[in-house]
Structure formats: C-alpha cells, structure tokens
Structure 1
C-alpha cells in the first residue's frame, strides 16, 4: 500500500541518517537552517540550475510534496489540468507547513511557495485550449533558449514531461505520514472526479490565473484559518467551509478509491490545524525554535520502525 511504501522509505532514510548521527525532518522549510550554510547536491542538473538561477537557486532551501496521478491520455490530461487549477489554493491551505524561515516567524503559514516564486515558470499555469497549444508553448521555450527541456517548467500543477501523469507540486512537505497520505488521497480523488466529469463532457468555468492567484495568496498567508473567494458566487467564504464542500464533491470517488480513512484525516486537519499551526503553537508555548525542530522530527518519525 501507499502507507507501507511511505513508512518503509522513511524508515530506511531514518536508519541511514541514524548511522551517521543524524535525524531526518520532513517540513516545507527548516525553521532554523540558513541556506548559506548548505551544500548543493553534486550532479550536472543541479550545477546547471545553479548556473542559470544563481542566488535564487542557492536560497531555494525548500521541500515539497509532489503527487502524481496517472492519466494515460495527454489530450485528456491537459483539460483535467485546466479544471484542477481552481482547487490548488484549497489543497495548499491544507498542506501549509512552512511558517518559519532562517529563524524568523514569517507571518505566513506557507512561506515555501513565496521562496519558490522567485524562479521563473512557477505558480498556477494558464489554461490551455488543447494539448497542441501546450506543446507549442513548450517547443517555443526550447527553441528560444528559455529551457532545454520541459522539466524546467515548475508550475504548481503540470503535465509531467516523462510520465503519463498530472503532477501536483503545490504542497509543502508534510511532517506526519498520515498528513502526507491524506493530502495525496485528496488530490487523487479530485483528479479522478474531474477526469470522469470531462469524459462526460461536464466542465466548469475556467478562471483567469490572476484570479486564482488571489486565493493562492490567501492560502499562503492564512492556511485553513482564512477565507477563500468562491468565484462562482463572487463572495468570500471560510476556507474550512469550502473544504467541506470539496470533500462532498469528491465523496463518490473516495468510496470508489477506498480512501475513507484518509478523508477522515483531512477532517482531522481541519479540526486540529495544519503542520504550520502546530509549529506556531509550539513556538508560542516555548519561544524556542529548537523545540519546533524537535517537534517536526518527532512527527516525522511517527509510526516508523526507527525511533527518533
């Protein structure tokens, strides 16, 4: 199962770290670590990114949860991507786990996205009328020397250039295994629902990226504690209320996919708070950033075959 896979990978990584006197921590941004102190992974790809992006690459000390959902037909996938753009802020609000940056409280629940926005070709993509329009866009970027391959398109959601998947890249890395699986299952259910609706010729109005960016900012700033805009009704609505509507929207898929346990955990996140909320609560209680790091480590090791 996906759960076994995640637990197994984390356990192996934690064991390797332990052999070197280290511990692992899964989080959107490290509360204390400074990017200037970090080594950059060796390899041609990272060397090229560093050459292209310079200080932007050096400062990119962030960690995301990327979720792939298989859609074998790329023509269909581009239309599902268009539709899924609307829900990216909702998903991010649930996943915010990066309130601290180089020892400072940023005042944002999800600072990671703001760090990554410094790169080109990030954020919510425009809608594409067809696969050919998207492919023409990619070809133009390659032809004009903007990129050497479509892997350097780093949107919040993208048609993966190698795998037959839609890749949702907006989420912060999650500390708890349960949070990771719940958010992945929600994304799977959303994509599955939109795929089936498209096959039935049922689609929603596509909103401009600049409008969706307003909700993306609200999710970044407030997580699940703010309001998002319901563009259909042109009104602000509590984020938790819209998330409840989203859970109702995907309920049939959840039953079919067997992810009821994960959706129950989404409801727990809505009740008890996000990873960012837990980090902020620990810091408010202790006024000690190291205590926040300890909490992240403890959550990362929950349910593993290795103790923290």
Structure 2
C-alpha cells in the first residue's frame, strides 16, 4: 500500500519573454495578470521582478497529482502568455535578459526587499524550483535539513538550466546560484543542533530588526515559515516537467529515508559542510559532467555513480511512496543531459549558421518555450508566434 505520508507541494518560477524579440518582457500588461489570475486564482503569484511569475501545486499525496497540476499550469499559462505576445520559459536564467533593464513588481513586501537589497534586487533575475515535503515534527525537520546537505549538490546537478547570463555563455552549467549568492542569508544553512538552536538564530535576527520573519532566510534548504514542511530551494527551474518531477521524487524519498535513518549523516562537521559547499560549486560548474568530492573515499566520484548509489539506497522509500517511475527518471537526465546541456547544444548549432550569436540565443529561447509549454508529454506543440 502506498503511504500518504510525506505529502508535498511544488513551486516553479518562470520567465516571461517577448515573443517577437525573444528578450525579456520588461513591463507586464495588467491584462495578462488579470487573465492568468482568473484562470489560476489559487496557484499563481507575482515575483519581485515583473518579468517573472511563480506557480504552486496544491498539497499532493502522489506524483500523479503533481504532474497533472503542473501540466495544467504550464500549458494554461503558456497559452495566456502567447495571447499577450509573450513566451513562458522554465529555466534558471533567461539566456539574453539584461538585469539593469528590469522593473520591480509593485507590492509592499517587494518594495521593502528592493530598498534593502538595492542593486542586488534588480540582479535577482533568477528562477528556481522549490519542493516542500511535510515533516510535522519540528526537531526532525531541522535535523533533516542539516543531514540533507551532502545530497544537495546531486539535486542541483540534475536540475542545471542556467548556462547563460546577460546574453553570454558563462562556462558554467548552473550560473543561477552564483548570482543568488550576492544576496544575504543564502547558500547552505549552518549545522544547527536542534530546533531550539535554529530558533535562537531566527529570533535574534528578528529582534534586531535584520529580518521581519524567517521567510527572509533564503538558504538552499529551509523550514517553511507557514507550513510544517522542509523546502528544497537549491534547484534551478527545470525546463522539462519530467525533470521537475524526477527531482521532486528524489527529494521526497531522501526526506523519508533520513527520517527513517536518524543516524545517517548525524555527525556532520565543519569539514562536512565545506565539502558539501565544494560539491555545490562543482555542480554549478560542471553539471553532470564533473564529479563530487567523497570524504569517505578521499576521491572524486562521477555524478552517475553517486546517483546510482543514492537510488539503490532509496529503493524501499520509492516503493512506499509510489514514486519509483519518477525517481528512475533521474537516470534519464544523466543519460540525456540537463536543460543546460540542451541549451548549449542548440546555441552552438544555431550560431554555427549564418545568424551568429543572435540566432543562437533566439533558438535557445524557442526551445525553452516549446519545452515549457509541452509539459511532460514530449511534444513541442505548435509553432511559436514570430518564430524564425
């Protein structure tokens, strides 16, 4: 019998791109927002910059529910966007957008954040995948957050979709976290000993006026401010829905496994955290094509080998949660490449033609839009308006 425990929800952030120029949509028409909110009143919210939106699934008990929700959201929003001469893109960075030309969304929370962050707020032109998994016991939730650190680089490597920044190849497969690291209270959480230790930090930050509440803590993994969940935030927004669901299944199984095995990663040290940070960098730089530093073996291990070991460890959890098929799709990502791999291949192929750099960027945006709209059915859909 499939367990209904470890309920979860998925949030995806998307870019809105101009359908004609393929550049970022700087100022979003209020008519688009009205149409999108009418279609998805409980699942859509604005982001800090006008060129981005975020969707969220309802609370899900199985992967089929999440797939149905995100398929509906992606297809529906892509259609509404196209009606307003825009393209919906699921990726960590927009290939050609220039941060200095962005406009902030008018909202009290975002106004305060922009005053605090100044230029860094405008540079936060980044889209991520967030997965919440329910862990009702707070001490267990904080403990799992810390013990999850060694697995975060794998989750990032599988999601990389940000090889471009400001119209240039970065040389990295996942540039998003590099830009995000400019913000305060990002990166890996500290090695909190328990919930009391975590609360001592949050309460001190709030009492001093540094933050309003814990939602202003933007670590790669964090306890939710509003829900009894542990929120994964390290992943890039995944272009292909199958990749989103594979990563969500992997994270959900890891949460269950760590809950069942309280001794696993129970004695992490400052060295352990530093190695996890190094492996985060290696995931950003190389994606699936590098390796991870292994403390136990004092060696560099290929990503595929690490994944195989983790999937074998999670077999019982996948069976209990009924997500074996989505979990197995992690191997398909390794075999076929991430969104970043595809973007780079498409860019080079188009650039090699007569169009040069501009043609390469347009081709990447077209692929991103088609794959985002297609969802998980593998079909690119109809020709884009204004497509070359």
Is the TM-score greater than 0.5? yes
Other-structure match for 2:168:
104
Structure 2 alignment gaps of length 5 or more: 1-64, 352-359
Report the alpha carbon displacement of residue 11 of structure 1 after superposing the two structures with TM: 2.0
TM-score scaled by length of structure 1: 0.96
The answer to whether structure 1 residue 292 and structure 2 residue 364 are counterparts is yes
Report the alpha carbon displacement of residue 286 of structure 1 after superposing the two structures with TM: 1.3
Q: Deviations over 1:168-202 (max 9, x none)?
A: 0000001111111111111111111111112xx55
Other-structure match for 1:145:
209
Quick check: 1:86–1:207 contact (8 Å CA) kept in 2?
no
Other-structure match for 1:39:
103
Kindly report which structure 2 residues correspond to 1:217-236, keeping only aligned pairs within 5 A, or say none.
217-236=281-300
Moved more, 140-149 or 115-124: 140-149
Q: Residues of 1 paired with 2:184 and 2:173: CA distance?
A: 23
Helix, strand or coil at the partner of 1:40: coil
Q: Residues of 1 paired with 2:213 and 2:70: CA distance?
A: 29
Report the alpha carbon displacement of residue 110 of structure 1 after superposing the two structures with TM: 0.5
Change (3 A) 1:21 1:202: closer
Q: May I ask how many residue pairs the two structures share in their alignment?
A: 306
Report the alpha carbon displacement of residue 264 of structure 1 after superposing the two structures with TM: 2.4
Q: Residues of 2 paired with 1:225 and 1:203: CA distance?
A: 26
Q: Residues of 2 paired with 1:65 and 1:5: CA distance?
A: 15
Change (3 A) 1:7 1:175: same
Quick check: 1:56–1:118 contact (8 Å CA) kept in 2?
yes
Helix, strand or coil at the partner of 2:173: coil
Q: Residues of 2 paired with 1:8 and 1:241: CA distance?
A: 35
**Counterpart selection for 2:347 from 283, 293, 297:** 283
Quick check: 1:197–1:203 contact (8 Å CA) kept in 2?
no
TM-score scaled by length of structure 2: 0.76
Moved more, 107-116 or 35-44: 35-44
**Counterpart selection for 1:169 from 233, 256, 262:** 233
**Counterpart selection for 2:245 from 181, 189, 200:** 181
Quick check: 1:218–1:226 contact (8 Å CA) kept in 2?
yes
Change (3 A) 1:96 1:202: closer
**Counterpart selection for 1:205 from 267, 272, 275:** 267
Report the alpha carbon displacement of residue 37 of structure 1 after superposing the two structures with TM: 2.0
Other-structure match for 2:132:
68
Quick check: 1:66–1:168 contact (8 Å CA) kept in 2?
yes
Q: Residues of 1 paired with 2:343 and 2:202: CA distance?
A: 39
Other-structure match for 1:155:
219
Q: Residues of 2 paired with 1:93 and 1:103: CA distance?
A: 22
The structure where helix makes up a greater share of residues is 1
Greater relative contact order, per chain length (Cα 8 Å cut-off, separation 6+): 1
Quick check: 1:96–1:276 contact (8 Å CA) kept in 2?
yes
Report the alpha carbon displacement of residue 19 of structure 1 after superposing the two structures with TM: 2.1
Report the alpha carbon displacement of residue 138 of structure 1 after superposing the two structures with TM: 0.3
Kindly report which structure 2 residues correspond to 1:71-150, keeping only aligned pairs within 5 A, or say none.
71-150=135-214
Report the alpha carbon displacement of residue 245 of structure 1 after superposing the two structures with TM: 0.8
Moved more, 132-141 or 209-218: 209-218
Q: Residues of 2 paired with 1:44 and 1:233: CA distance?
A: 50
Q: Deviations over 1:39-78 (max 9, x none)?
A: 2111011111100000000111000000000001111111
Q: Residues of 2 paired with 1:297 and 1:18: CA distance?
A: 10
Other-structure match for 1:244:
308
Quick check: 2:147–2:264 contact (8 Å CA) kept in 1?
no
The answer to whether structure 1 residue 55 and structure 2 residue 119 are counterparts is yes
Q: Residues of 1 paired with 2:160 and 2:264: CA distance?
A: 31
Other-structure match for 1:261:
325
Q: Residues of 1 paired with 2:230 and 2:280: CA distance?
A: 19
